[in-house]
Structure 1
Amino acid sequence: MKMKDSPKDMALKMLGLFMILSFFFVSCTTKEQPVTITEDAETYTLDNGIVTAMVAKTSGDLVSLRYQDKEMLATWLTSKGEPDLQRDPPGQNFWGMNRGMTDHQYGFWSHDAMGPRGTQAAIPTITINPETNGGERAEVSIKGISKGRKMGTGPGADADGQFMSDIEIRYSLGKGESGVYTYSVFTHQPEYDLTVLGEARFAAKLNDFFDWMSISEKQNFYYPVEKRFIDKYVLTVVQSENRAFGWSSTTENVGLFFINPSMEYMSGGPTKVEFQGHRDTNPVAAPTILNYWKSSHYGGATLTVDEGEAWEKVVGPFLIYANAGDSPGAMFTDAKKQAAAETEKWPYSWVDGVDYPSAEERATVKGKLVLNDPITDNNFSNLSVGLTAPEYEAVYPAGTGNRRPVNWQRDAKHYQFWTDGNADGTFEIDNVHPGEYSLYAFADGVLGEFLKTDVVVTEGENLDLGNLTWTPVRHGEQVWEIGIPNRNASEFFKGDEYNNPESPIMYAELFPDDVHYTIGESDFREDWYFQHVPHNTDSEAEPLPYRGVPAEGRATPYTITFDMPSAPEGTATLRAAISGNGAEKIDVEVNGKPAGSIEDLIRDGAIARHGKQGIWHQRSLSFNAALMKEGENTLTLTVPAGSLNDGVMYDYIRLELDE
C-alpha cells in the first residue's frame, strides 16, 4: 500500500519545486533581459540582468562590476554600496595604494583616456545605443585626444605622462553575456612627436572573497591573503598557452576571468612569458588579474613611434568573464570552455570604426613546411608558424641607443598571427589582417627558425603558399649535441623546477665539483643543471623577492668530454641556443686552450625572475679544429664570476665540424 506524504514531506517537495521553478524563471528572464545604458555626470552603467558594469567618464576606468548582486572588484564602496570615487578617483592617481604611479582598487588600463590630470577632458560617447537595436548590445567609449600631451600615468610613467597618442577605451555588453568586453585604441597622429611606450596592461583588483588563483594548469591553487608575500615572479606563465585566467572564490562560489579570444594584439609571440595574476603588492593585497599586451618582463617588448608617423593599434577586445560553480576547478574549466567559444566568434562583428578588419576583410594563409635536413626527419613536433611584421629598427630618442633591431619576440607595435602547425608540416593561419609580413616557423628538435619574407596578404583573399622548403643551417657534420632545441631549458636537470627561487643556490650544492658531461654516457636530464650560474661561495646566500639571488659566486666551468676518431682539420663551430640569460659572455676552452668567447648575449632577467625562458637567441663560435685531437677531448664553457643571477640557461648546444 502506498503511503501518503506527510505535511512536512509535502512542504519540502513544494519548496524544492518552487526553488527549481524560481531558478528556471530567473535564468530565462535574465538571459532575455535587454541591455540598457544609464548615466550620470560621472559614469555610464551597462546592465543586462547578468552583469552590471560601471565606467568612469573621465578616464575609462571600470569602477564597478557586479555579478549575482556581488561587487566583484576591490572597489571601495560608500555607505550606500556605491563606488567611492572621492576616495579612489578615476584617472591619474599617484597617491593611491601603490605610490608613484596611477593605481586603483578596481579595473583600469595603464594608459587611460584622462592623461595627466587637469590637462584636458576626455570625451564620453555611446558608440552602440541599445535603444536602436532592441537591447541586443550596448557600447560606450571614453576618448582622450593627445594634442601633444603624453598619455598614460601607470607603471614607469612620469608625472607628465608617457606616450603621445590618442587613446580611446571602449566597453561592450551584449544580451545574455556573462561578462563585459573592453578594448583600447591607440592612434599616433602624424603631427605627434617621437614617443616610446613603457609597460602597458589592463589590471583588475578583485574583492577580498576571491581566494583561488587559476592562471595555468601549474599555477592553480588556493591563494588567500595570508600568502601575499609569495615572490610574484614564481607565478609567471607563457601567455599564449593560457587564454583564460583569473580567480574564483571558495566561499561565494563565483569566479572572474580575463579571456583573450585572440593573441593578435599581444606582444612577443607564442613564447612570451608574463604575469597574468598575483596578489597586489600594496597593503590591501587584493587578488589581481593582469593582461599585459605590451610586456616589460623577461626581455620585455618594444613599441616606439617616430615623429611624423601615422600609427594605430586596437588592443582587444577581450572578455572580463564572470561565472559561478561548485568548485574552483569547475569555474576554471568553464572559463576555458568560454575562451574556446570566444575564439570561434573572432573577429567580433560588432566592433566598428577602428583598425579592426571584419571577417570578410581578413584572410586565411596556408602552406606546408618541408624539412630538408640530413639528420632530422620530416615529422614536426610542436610546430609554431606565424605571420609578423618584418624585422625592423625601432627609433629611440637621441642618447638612448637611437636605433635598435626588433623581431617578433620583442614586437608590440604590430599585430601578430600565429598557429600550431601539424606533424606533416601543414598549417593554416586564420583571420589575418591585410598587409605585408614575414613568415616564421620553429619546432622542437630543429635548431633555428624558418623565415620567408615578403608575404603579401590582400584584403579578403585567402593565400596558399604551397610547399616551403626549410633547410636548417649547419656548418658541417654534427660531432655531438646536448639538449633538445625547444626554446626553453625544461629538459635539463631541475628544469621542471624553474620557478624555485633557490635554484641558483642549489647548483653549488648539487654539483660541488661543477658539471662534467661525457658525450655518449651522460644524460642531460640528470647531469646538466639547467642554470649555468656562478658557483655560490656565500654561505648566507638567499633569494630576495623581485631580486633573485644577489649573492656572489666564482666562475663556473661546464666541462664536456668527447672522443674524436682522428685528428680533425678545418673549422669547428660551437652553436649555443640560449633560452634565458644574465651573463655578459661564455668563455670557451678546447683541451685547456682558449678558443674564444660567446658574446653579444641578450640579458632578459629570466634567472633572477625564476623563468625557464626569456628572449631566445642563437650564438656561434668558430675555432680552428686543430685544437682538437684524436681520442679524448674536452670543451669547457665557463660563466664568469659574479652575481648568481648572471648565468645562462641553454636551450641546446651543438658542435659541428667542416673539414
Structure 2
Amino acid sequence: MAPIGVELLVQDHHVMMDNGILQVTLSKPEGIVTGIRYNGIDNLLEIRNEESNRGYWDLVWNSATTGTTGIFDVIKGTSFTIIMENEEQVELSFTRTWDPSQEGKLVPLNIDKRFIMLRGSSGFYSYAIYEHLKDWPAFELGETRIAFKLRKDKFHYMAMADNRQRYMPLPDDRSPPRGQALAYPEAVLLVNPVEPELKGEVDDKYQYSCDNKDNKVHGWICTEPPVGFWQITPSTEFRSGGPFKQNLTSHVGPTTLAMFLSAHYAGEDLVPKFAAGEEWKKVFGPVFMYVNSAYEGNDPLSLWEDAKSQMVMEVQCWPYSFPASEEFPKSYQRGNVRGRLLIQDRYVSNDYISVNGAYVGLALPGDIGSWQRECKDYQFWTTTDEDGYFRINGIRTGDYNLNASVPGFIGDYHYDVVMTITSATKVLKRKKEINSASNVGCDIDMGDLVYEPPRDGPTLWEIGIPDRSAAEFYVPDPNPKYINKLFVNHPDRFRQYGLWERYSELYSDQDLVYTVGVSDYSKDWFFAQVTRKKEDNKYQGTTWQIKFNLDNLDQTGSYKLRVALASATFSELQVRVNDPKANRPLFTSGMIGRDNSIARHGIHGLYWLYNVDVPSSRLVEGDNIIYLTQPRSTGPFQGIMYDYLRFEGPSSPSSK
C-alpha cells in the first residue's frame, strides 16, 4: 500500500503537517514546533513547557566588538508563507525581516526558517536562510542552532555513539536540593537523584560533545512505547570550524540540539564578526528530525541501530533535491574536486608516502590553517583512501583554498592557489580545459598534491602522536566523588569531571619531569599542563622538564624544537633550554587560546604549531633539559594540552 500524501491544515494560530506517519504542529506565524504526534503519543515534546520552549531555532548575538556571550533570541517569525503544498511535499516558510527601527533590539538579519515534510518520510526537515544586507549595522553571531525539548516522563535513554549512550538523569536531578553545582553551572553533582543508582555521579552536557566529523546522528529513546527521536545532520558544509570543531549534541532535558555555529572549544576565534554594510547570506541545513518505533517486546536499542541506518541514507542523498529555496543549490549546480595527496618527508622515506584517512577540505581562501577559524562561509571535507586519493562532491559555487590535515604529520597542507567552483557545464583539469555536454557542475582534477610537513633535520626524540589530540597522554582516574560511570574504562576517559585537579595531587611537590628514553608518554606525560592549586586556594604556573642526552653535539648547526598544541586557554608557552631561571625565554607564545577544553572535557580545541630554533650554543654534549613553562595562573582552567613534541638535529648535507 502506497503511503498517503502529505496534508496541510492551516488554523488561526497553528499549522499542521501530516503524512499519515506523524503530525507536526507549528505556531503561526512564529514557526515554533509546538507538537509532534507519533505512534500513539499525542506529543513527543515537553507538554509542560510553554509552546515557545519546545522546538525552536535560536541564536546568540552581540552588537559589541568583543565577546562570545550576548543576547539570547528564540527566533520567532512574523510572516507565514506556504512555499509548496502537494501530496508529495509540504514546505513552509516563517520569516522575520529586520529594519533600522529594531537596531540594538534584534539581530540585524533577515531570517527565513523553512520546514519540510515528505510523503512516506518518518520525520521532517528544517533549514534556514540568514541574510545581512548592505548598510546594516555591525554585529557578532556567537551561536545558532535548533533545540528540541522532549518529554521528561518518556525519554530517558540518550544515544550519540555506539559507546556513548546511557540512561540519563532527569532535569529535576540537576536542581537543588537534588543537584549541587560544581565549578561551573553546566557541571552538577547528583546528590539525591530520583533514580538512586545515579547518586554521586556528575552530569555535564559537555561530556557528550562531539567533533563535527562524527556528529551525524544523536537523540533519545522512549521505552514505553518503544519510540526514538533523532537529530540527523547529513552534511557538515554549513558548520563552522572544520571537521575537528566540537559541538554539543544531546543532554539532560531531555534536549536534542542541531548546532550550526558556536564558540565552544574555540572561543572568540569562532565567532563571526560582521562589519557595518557587509553583505552576507548563508543557508544552515537542512537537517532531519527522524522518529522511529519498535514493536512492543523488541529491544528498544534497536531504534539506535535503525537511526544510524537512516543517517547513512540521508548522507547518501546529500545534497537534497527537494528544498524549494534557490539559495540551496541542487547537485547539478555544484562542483566536484578530486586528486591525490602524498607526503614527502626525506627523513621518513625516500619515496612519496600515501596516507590513509587524511582530512582534505575546501574552505574560504586564507592562510595556512585558517580553515579551523573560518566561521562565515561553507566548508567541504572528505578523507583520503589508502592510496591517498580523495574526492569531494557537491561543492557550492565560490572561491576556495584546498587544505589538509594528515594524521602522523604535523602542520597543515595548504594549496594556496584559489580554486573557483562554478556550476558551468564543463570539466576542468589542472592545466587544460575540456568542454563537456555534461549537466553537472565543474569537476576539477587536482592531480597529485605533495605535502612537505615542517622538517629541518632528523628526529632525535619525540613525545606523543601528531593527531591534534592529547588523548594518547596520561589521563588520570577521576576523583571518586565526581564520576560519570559511562566513561569508566572508556576510550574517552578524559570526559570525566575535575581531572585538572588531579595534577596538583599527583605532582604536589614538584612539576612533571620527563626523561627521553626512560619515560612513557602514555603514563608519564599528564594530558594537560594546568596550574597548581595552592593551600590558600590560589593558583601558580607550572614548569615541565624534558631531560635528554646528546651524544654528539653539532656545534656548527641549529637544532629545532617543534611543539604542536592541541588546546590553549588564556595561557602562555615559554621555552627555556638548560637554564630554568633565564630572564628571557628562548621562545614565548604570548597569551594564547580561549577554547576552554580543559574544563569541558574536550581533549583538544584549536591547533597551534610552534617551531623553535635552538642554537647549538644553548646545548651541551651529554645531559640537557628543556623547560616548558605555563606561567599564567589566575584560575584552574588556564593551561595547554600538547599534541606532539619533536626535537630535530641539524640538517645533514646528504639529506638536502
Whole-angstrom CA distance in 2 between matches of 1:150 and 1:524: 56
Counterpart position of 2:21 = 50
Between the two proteins, the alignment pairs up a number of residues equal to 564
Change over 3 Å in CA distance of 1:608–1:619 after alignment to 2: same
> Gaps spanning 5+ residues in structure 2: where?
61-70, 175-187, 189-202, 424-440, 477-491, 652-656
Whole-angstrom CA distance in 1 between matches of 2:22 and 2:393: 31
Contact 2:206/2:601 (8 A) holds in 1: yes
Counterpart position of 2:56 = 108
Is 1:645 the counterpart of 2:637? The answer is yes
- Pairs within 5 Å for 1:396-407: 407=370
Whole-angstrom CA distance in 1 between matches of 2:42 and 2:338: 46
Counterpart position of 2:96 = 144
Counterpart position of 1:390 = 365
Whole-angstrom CA distance in 2 between matches of 1:257 and 1:604: 28
Residue 588 of structure 1 and its aligned partner are, at CA, apart by 2.1
SS at match of 1:211: strand
**2:227 aligned to which of 243, 254, 257:** 254
Is 1:466 the counterpart of 2:429? The answer is no
Counterpart position of 1:477 = 458
Change over 3 Å in CA distance of 1:89–1:51 after alignment to 2: closer
Contact 1:568/1:628 (8 A) holds in 2: no
Q: Deviations over 1:525-576 (max 9, x none)?
A: 111111111233349xxxxxxxxxxx54333222111111223334333221
Whole-angstrom CA distance in 2 between matches of 1:625 and 1:553: 35
Residue 227 of structure 1 and its aligned partner are, at CA, apart by 5.2
Counterpart position of 1:444 = 407
Change over 3 Å in CA distance of 1:200–1:150 after alignment to 2: farther
Change over 3 Å in CA distance of 1:327–1:150 after alignment to 2: farther
Residue 639 of structure 1 and its aligned partner are, at CA, apart by 2.0
Residue 641 of structure 1 and its aligned partner are, at CA, apart by 5.8
Counterpart position of 1:123 = 79
> Gaps spanning 5+ residues in structure 1: where?
1-27, 78-86, 91-103, 152-157, 280-285, 393-404, 540-550
- Pairs within 5 Å for 1:273-288: 273-279=246-252, 286-288=253-255
Counterpart position of 2:264 = 297
Contact 2:47/2:151 (8 A) holds in 1: no
The one-letter code matched in structure 2 to 1:129 is: E
Contact 1:205/1:287 (8 A) holds in 2: yes
- Pairs within 5 Å for 1:3-22: none
Deviating beyond 6 angstroms after TM superposition, the runs of 4 or more aligned structure 1 residues are 115-121
Counterpart position of 2:648 = 656
The one-letter code matched in structure 1 to 2:78 is: A
Contact 2:568/2:640 (8 A) holds in 1: yes
SS at match of 2:100: coil
Residue 390 of structure 1 and its aligned partner are, at CA, apart by 1.5
Whole-angstrom CA distance in 2 between matches of 1:149 and 1:376: 63
The one-letter code matched in structure 1 to 2:597 is: A
Counterpart position of 1:614 = 605
Counterpart position of 2:162 = 217
**1:530 aligned to which of 527, 530, 538:** 527
Q: Deviations over 1:310-333 (max 9, x none)?
A: 321111111000011333431111
Whole-angstrom CA distance in 2 between matches of 1:322 and 1:375: 53
Is 1:61 the counterpart of 2:13? The answer is no
- Calculate the TM-score normalised by the size of structure 2: 0.81
**1:264 aligned to which of 237, 240, 245:** 237
Whole-angstrom CA distance in 1 between matches of 2:72 and 2:551: 70
Is 1:553 the counterpart of 2:520? The answer is no
Whole-angstrom CA distance in 2 between matches of 1:432 and 1:484: 32
Is 1:623 the counterpart of 2:607? The answer is no
Contact 2:57/2:74 (8 A) holds in 1: no
Q: Deviations over 1:115-152 (max 9, x none)?
A: 9999997221111111xxxx11111111111123669x
Whole-angstrom CA distance in 2 between matches of 1:120 and 1:270: 31
SS at match of 1:504: helix
Contact 1:72/1:256 (8 A) holds in 2: no
Counterpart position of 1:238 = 211
Change over 3 Å in CA distance of 1:72–1:628 after alignment to 2: farther
Contact 1:366/1:464 (8 A) holds in 2: yes
Change over 3 Å in CA distance of 1:150–1:514 after alignment to 2: farther
Contact 1:268/1:295 (8 A) holds in 2: no
- Pairs within 5 Å for 1:313-392: 313-325=282-294, 326-377=298-349, 378-391=353-366
SS at match of 1:509: helix
Whole-angstrom CA distance in 1 between matches of 2:278 and 2:24: 36
Residue 366 of structure 1 and its aligned partner are, at CA, apart by 0.3
Contact 1:178/1:323 (8 A) holds in 2: yes
Counterpart position of 2:573 = 586
Change over 3 Å in CA distance of 1:297–1:350 after alignment to 2: same
SS at match of 2:313: helix
The one-letter code matched in structure 2 to 1:237 is: C
Change over 3 Å in CA distance of 1:303–1:171 after alignment to 2: same
Whole-angstrom CA distance in 1 between matches of 2:139 and 2:570: 30
Whole-angstrom CA distance in 1 between matches of 2:632 and 2:129: 47
Change over 3 Å in CA distance of 1:531–1:44 after alignment to 2: same
Whole-angstrom CA distance in 2 between matches of 1:572 and 1:628: 9
Residue 241 of structure 1 and its aligned partner are, at CA, apart by 0.5
Contact 1:124/1:140 (8 A) holds in 2: yes
Residue 291 of structure 1 and its aligned partner are, at CA, apart by 1.3
Whole-angstrom CA distance in 2 between matches of 1:323 and 1:186: 31
Of all paired residues, the percent bearing the same amino acid is 31
Whole-angstrom CA distance in 1 between matches of 2:395 and 2:72: 36
Counterpart position of 1:456 = 420
Residue 196 of structure 1 and its aligned partner are, at CA, apart by 1.7
Whole-angstrom CA distance in 2 between matches of 1:320 and 1:376: 47
Residue 603 of structure 1 and its aligned partner are, at CA, apart by 2.5
Change over 3 Å in CA distance of 1:577–1:234 after alignment to 2: same
SS at match of 2:501: helix
Contact 2:272/2:375 (8 A) holds in 1: yes
Counterpart position of 1:99 = none
Counterpart position of 2:398 = 435
Contact 2:356/2:387 (8 A) holds in 1: no
Q: Deviations over 1:327-350 (max 9, x none)?
A: 343111111110110011111111
SS at match of 1:32: coil
Q: Deviations over 1:179-227 (max 9, x none)?
A: 0100111112223222221211110000111001111234211113165
Contact 1:481/1:653 (8 A) holds in 2: yes
Whole-angstrom CA distance in 1 between matches of 2:23 and 2:391: 38
Contact 2:32/2:51 (8 A) holds in 1: no
Q: Deviations over 1:216-241 (max 9, x none)?
A: 23421111316544122222222320
Counterpart position of 2:50 = 88
- Calculate the TM-score normalised by the size of structure 1: 0.81
Whole-angstrom CA distance in 2 between matches of 1:428 and 1:627: 47
Is 1:572 the counterpart of 2:559? The answer is yes
SS at match of 1:498: helix
The one-letter code matched in structure 1 to 2:80 is: P
Contact 2:413/2:451 (8 A) holds in 1: yes
Is 1:311 the counterpart of 2:280? The answer is yes
What RMSD, in angstroms, separates the aligned Cα atoms of the two structures? 2.5
Whole-angstrom CA distance in 2 between matches of 1:117 and 1:426: 44
Whole-angstrom CA distance in 2 between matches of 1:477 and 1:143: 60
Whole-angstrom CA distance in 2 between matches of 1:231 and 1:64: 27
Query: Mean Cα displacement is larger for which, 646-655 or 517-526?
Result: 517-526
**1:201 aligned to which of 145, 149, 164:** 145
Counterpart position of 1:596 = 586
SS at match of 2:406: strand
Change over 3 Å in CA distance of 1:176–1:562 after alignment to 2: same
SS at match of 2:453: coil
Residue 72 of structure 1 and its aligned partner are, at CA, apart by 4.4
Contact 2:243/2:381 (8 A) holds in 1: yes
SS at match of 1:474: coil
Contact 2:569/2:595 (8 A) holds in 1: yes
Counterpart position of 1:497 = 493
Counterpart position of 1:93 = none
Whole-angstrom CA distance in 1 between matches of 2:307 and 2:461: 45
